[in-house]
Amino acid sequence: MFNTSLGIDDLIFLAQGAGMTILVTAIAVAIGTVLGIAFGIFRYQAGPVLAAPVTFVLDLFRSIPLLIQLVLANAFIGTVLRLKMSGFTVACAVLSLYTAAYCAEIVRGGIQAVPSNTRRAARSLGMSWFQDMTHIVLPLATRIALPSWIGLALGVMKDSALVYVVQVTELLKSTQILITRLQEPLFLLLICGAFYFIISFPIARFGGYLEKRWSND
């Protein structure tokens, strides 16, 4: 017979950690997506030469492991700038920029995938650049980029487990705390995985639903 020391309070503690994971992910994905759209459009419109500085910075965020970014950002803000910033704020800021770096590439690729003939037809009808982008390019690019964006959102959710280094107690950190106290690693990791599945599955299914619906339009 299976026995466990896990109690209701422990499950509530894990749920609170899951809530923190959802909150950090939601903030990072929301801010990162807005910044990513802006950076992606700029990179596409400015061309490789003028956009080189922005491209270089985005490449840094994509190339350096997230764990190192979190540690360096926390140390820089506290030691060099001497600012008192909570670990939660640092985590959201770094994850947002990390998300924006990947999202910008997704947006740029989506815009480039829109047929040039479609854009020329829109401009020949007298549409301005802004009208062309908002009514033609971005709706088509969204359909193309959606699967990659869903994958990015799910990846950020899992990468948020690294924010423990800036003293943010998210789902995995909560699990590690309980493992240390209860000494039931396999069972607790199984529950942790179930929490991640519960969070991820609706997002993945909703993305699949939108993709299927748009492909039938």
- Measure CA of the first residue to CA of the last residue in the chain; give whole Å: 54
Residues 94, 96, 99, 104, CA torsion sign: negative
Cα→Cα distances 143→41, 109, 138, 186, Å: 16, 12, 9, 40
Which among 134, 144, 135, 57 has a CA at the least distance from the CA of 108?
A: 144
- What superfamily would CATH give domain 8-216? MetI-like (1.10.3720.10)
- Reduced to 3 states, what is the DSSP secondary structure of residue 99? helix
Q: Print pLDDT tens along the chain (217 aa).
A: 567 878 899 999 999 999 999 999 999 999 999 999 999 999 988 888 888 999 999 999 999 999 999 999 999 998 888 888 899 999 999 999 999 999 999 999 998 888 888 877 877 888 887 888 888 888 888 888 888 999 999 999 999 999 999 999 999 999 999 999 988 889 999 999 999 999 999 988 888 888 777 766 6
Q: What is the mean pLDDT of the chain?
A: 89
Summarize pLDDT for 203-216 with one digit per residue, the tens.
888 888 887 777 66
Q: Residue 39, exposed/middle/buried by CB under 10 A (0-12, 13-18, 19+)?
A: buried
Summarize pLDDT for 64-110 with one digit per residue, the tens.
999 999 999 999 998 888 888 899 999 999 999 999 999 999 999 99
Structure tokens at 108: 């740029």
Spatial CB neighbours of 49, under 8 Å, sequence gap ≥ 6: none
Which among 157, 185, 149 has a CA at the least distance from the CA of 19?
A: 157
Q: No. of H helices and E strands in the chain?
A: 9, 0
Identify the DSSP state of 81: S
| Domain coordinates in residue numbering, the chain | 8-216
- Reduced to 3 states, what is the DSSP secondary structure of residue 162? helix
Residues 139, 143, 148, 154, CA torsion sign: positive
What are φ and ψ of residue 126, in 5° steps? 95, 10
